[in-house]
Structure formats: structure tokens, C-alpha cells
Amino acid sequence: MHNPCRICGGTVKGSIDLGRHPRGNAFPRPGETADEFFYRLVVGMCDVCTMVQLLEDIPQEVRYHDEYPYHASGSAIHRRHFEEIAQGFLDTELTGPDPFAVEIGSNDGVMLARIARAGVRHLGVEPSRQVAEMSRAKGVRVLPEFFDEGTAERIRAEHGPADVMFGANVIAHISHLASVLRGAALLLARTGVFVFEEPYLGSVVEKTAFDILYDEHSFVFSVRAIQAAAERFGLELVDARLMEIHGGSMRYTLAPAGARPVSPRVGELLEKEAAQGLGEHATLEEFARRARTVRDDLTALVRDLHAQGKRIVGYGAPAKITTVTNYCGIGPDLIPFVCDSTPSKQGRLVAGTHIPVRAPEAFSADHPDYALLFAWNHAEEIMAKEREFAERGGRWILYVPDVHIV
């Protein structure tokens, strides 16, 4: 499979083929599974600009809609993370006479609510209705649209230039990334910054975290690819920092070209990426081989425990569960249910494999022998919350970076 690169027009060769998958966040209701949507999950790298991208593109309206089920404030650690980001902006960037902040994909308003409370002018751009309403209830101003260069132009005409533009786990989701970068160049004040954080290719490769590949992740960013993409649109990558959130995300800071000094961290990260082979097709091909090993090991372990009469339940229904259960062929015959604290996912099914999603009480009321931790990036928070399970002899199964029991 080959495609033209969405950023530079180079050639993208499909190196990772995980087969047919439904949408990661579809979570159909029981009875809604007859005509589930499937696509071919193939990921590759551009041979010119090294941007890693999905070969198939699912229309954004299909992915983000009134009932988009993910809530950004579903974890205490994430809530703190976003509040710290907001405070950081208030302390360092939003200090002028009448500053203005824009967030792309503001979701349930966890970040902007802090900015709103400080009385700072702001605008969330959020097309999914239910989460947008949750943010309005927190006093956040929302534009219910998909961000692109047209939206950027209209926002600038109405509100003036932005001192801060922010996006988390959304910029890599937008297949018209070129238009987003053109829009950022249009909307940013000369002294402004565009900060975004997204799952990092280096961490995904290092951890064999193949489950972060799904329809929403149109791209998996690297420092090198973002630096090159920014340059094409009059922006410059001035800083990049690796963070633990979501199992390894990079926070990129772009500014109008020449407006800010470039941190030495950028060069350091570029060197590390070269040493890790992130710009090479062979690295993705090797990753695909390791993903197959994880699949074989996980499937064998779950089948083996099941054959021994052990009860295994899933913990957490992140979008990632759709990739891992469909890729491994793990269904309700092996895992009768998975529990998740998000109300909009409860009573639904994991797309494709149809494992029912239940409230966390279903887990605590009747502890299984094993819990397969699909929300592995929240291990610390979840294991602390469910201490009793381990105290009573329950064991956690993890599959990142490899299959192991703790």
C-alpha cells in the first residue's frame, strides 16, 4: 500500500498493517453492531519528511460527533496535568493587557475552565456537542466547529490574534494538518505560541505500544517531522519536551519563524531520534514484528488462564482497547466484561469484539482472578484505587512493553 504524504506530497509506504479494525471510540450500543464500520489499519512513514501517518482517512464527522465518548477529565492525574498547563500559560504567556487563548479540541473544558476562572479571554474550538456542553457548564466559551484555516481566519477577524494556541491529543488527529498549521500561522500573534502535545513516536516504538494506532491518530508525530512541517508554513519548532502522560507524549512549542530563540532541547531530541532510527522504514517494520509477538503472547496467556478456569476481566476501556482486542481476537468468551469509569461508555460494547463495558463497581463487587489492564498508561492511579484487588490475591496483566503479570 502506498499513499501521497498529507504534508509534503512524498510517498508513504505502509509498514505496519494491523488488519481490519472498527473505530477506536465507536463503543456501539448492544443491538447497534449489525453494520459496524471497518477500515484497514495501515501506518507508514513519508520517505521525504518522515511524517508517520495512517494510510486510510476516516471522515472527521464520523469520528467526532454529538456522542463522542472520551472525557478529558476522566483521570485525576490528567485533571492536574491540564490545570498545570493552564496555570503555566497564565503565568508566562497570558500576561499582557488583554490576552487571548484558543484551544483546539477543548473537549469537556478541563484546561480552559482554569483560564476562564482567571477572567482571561479564551475560545475552545470543539465540534463534539456533548463534551462542548460539559465545558460550557464550566464557564468556557466554545465554537462548535472543526478547526482549519477558515476557522482561524474567522476567529482572528472576530477576536484578534491569539497569544496562546493549545491542543492536546487532537492535532495528530486532524488529517488536514497542513490547513491547521496554515491556520495557526494566521491566527497567532507575532509574540504568540502554538503548544500541542501528542503521543510520541519515540515512546510508541520504544514500548511497542501498537494500541495507540487507531482511526483517530491520523499521525504519530516525531520532533523531526514536526520541525519540517512547521517550516513549510512559516512556523518554527522552538521547544519540545517529553512527558509521561499517555505513556509518552511530546509537547511541541511552535512560534512564528524567527520570533523566539530555539531551545537546545530540540537539537538534543533530533540526535536521539536519529540514534533510535525513527526516520527509517526498517524501524517501523521491526515494530510491526514486535507487535505480532505481543499479540501472540497475550492471546496465548489469556487462552491458557481461561482454560485453567481463571476468571479474567478487563480494566479500562480506552480507545486503545479496540485495537488490541480486535488485533488479538479477544472477545467476551475470554473477557466477559471490561469496567470503565466514563458514564458515556458504560452499557456500550467495545467495537468489533463486543466486550461489554460496565461501571467499576462491577469489578469491585466481584473481584476476578486476573485483571487485564487496557488503560495501562493509568496504571499507577488505577492500581492505587483498586489496592484491595491485589491485596486479595488478584493479579494484573499488562502487555506494554511486553506481556507480563504483576
| Sites of contact with ligand JHZ (CB under 6 A) | 70, 74-75, 169, 199, 216, 246, 316-320, 340-342, 345, 360, 375, 377-378, 381-382, 385
C-alpha triplet 52, 56, 61: angle, nearest 5°? 110
Q: Is residue 170 within the footprint of ligand SAH (CB under 6 A)?
A: yes
Residue placing its CB nearer to ligand SAH in the complex, 73 or 353? 73
Taking the least distance from each CB to ligand JHZ, the nearer of 270 and 291 is 291
Min CB(243)–ligand SAH separation in Å: 12
Candidates 120-128, 298-306, 335-343, 377-385; binding stretch for ligand SAH (CB under 6 A): 120-128
By CB under 6 A, is residue 131 in contact with ligand SAH? yes
- Long-range CB contacts for residues 280-289, cutoff 8 Å, separation at least 24: 281/13, 281/15, 281/44, 281/45, 281/47, 283/205, 284/15, 284/16, 284/43, 284/44, 284/45, 284/52, 284/205, 285/15, 285/16, 287/16, 287/204, 287/205, 287/208, 287/210, 288/15, 288/16, 288/17, 288/210
| Cβ at position 380, least distance to ligand SAH in Å | 18
Question: Residue 203, interface with ligand SAH (CB under 6 A)?
Answer: no
Helix, strand, or coil here: 111? coil
**CB-CB contact of 105 with 132 (8 Å):** no
3-state secondary structure of 44: strand
Cβ neighbours of 77 (radius 10 Å): 12
Query: Which of the stretches 167-175, 187-195, 227-235, 284-292 binds ligand SAH when contact is defined by CB under 6 A?
Result: 167-175
Pairwise CA distance, residues 370 & 57, whole Å = 37
| Cα angle 33, 34, 40; round to 5 | 80
- Judged by CB under 6 A, how many residues of this single chain contact ligand SAH? 20
C-alpha cell at 64: 467526532
Per the DSSP assignment, residues forming a β-bridge with 241 are 251
R_g over Cα of the chain: 21
Q: For 258, left (φ over 0), alpha (ψ -120 to 50), or beta?
A: left
Which partner in Zn ion, ligand SAH, ligand JHZ, none is near 104 (CB below 5 to 8 A by kind)? ligand SAH
DSSP result, 263-323: PHHHHHHHHHHHHHTTT-HHHHHHHHHHHHHHHHHHHHHHHHHHHTT--EEEE---THHHH
Smallest distance from Zn ion to CB 283, Å: 16
DSSP 142-165: EE-S--SHHHHHHHHHHH--EEEE
Interface ranges with Zn ion (CB under 5 A)? 5, 7-8, 10, 46, 48-49, 51
* Residue nearer to ligand JHZ on the CB measure, 21 or 246: 246
d(CA 332, CA 338): 9
60-68, 261-269, 361-369, 373-381 -> range binding ligand SAH (CB under 6 A): 60-68
Q: Cβ of residue 14: shortest distance to Zn ion, in angstroms?
A: 14
Q: Closest separation between CB of residue 77 and ligand JHZ, Å?
A: 7
Q: Which is nearer to Zn ion, 13 or 290 (CB)?
A: 13
Choose the one of ligand JHZ, Zn ion, ligand SAH, none that binds residue 319, judging by a C-beta under 5 to 8 angstroms depending on kind.
ligand JHZ
Q: Minimum distance between the CB of residue 47 and Zn ion, rounded to whole angstroms?
A: 8
How near is the Cβ of 265 to Zn ion at its closest, in Å? 24
Indicate the residue among 8 and 305 with the shorter CB distance to Zn ion: 8
Per CB under 6 A, does 28 bind ligand SAH? no
According to CB under 6 A, which residues from 92 to 111 bind ligand SAH? 104-105, 107
Give me 162's grid cell: 491569539
- Distance of closest approach, residue 378 Cβ to ligand SAH, in angstroms: 13
Give the position of cell 516504538. Answer: 205
**Contacting residue, 12, 55, 68, 185, with ligand SAH by CB under 6 A:** 68
Q: Please give the single-letter amino acid code of residue 142.
A: V
Q: Which residues are at the interface with ligand SAH (CB under 6 A)?
A: 60, 64, 68, 70, 72, 104-105, 107, 125-128, 131, 146-147, 168-170, 173-174
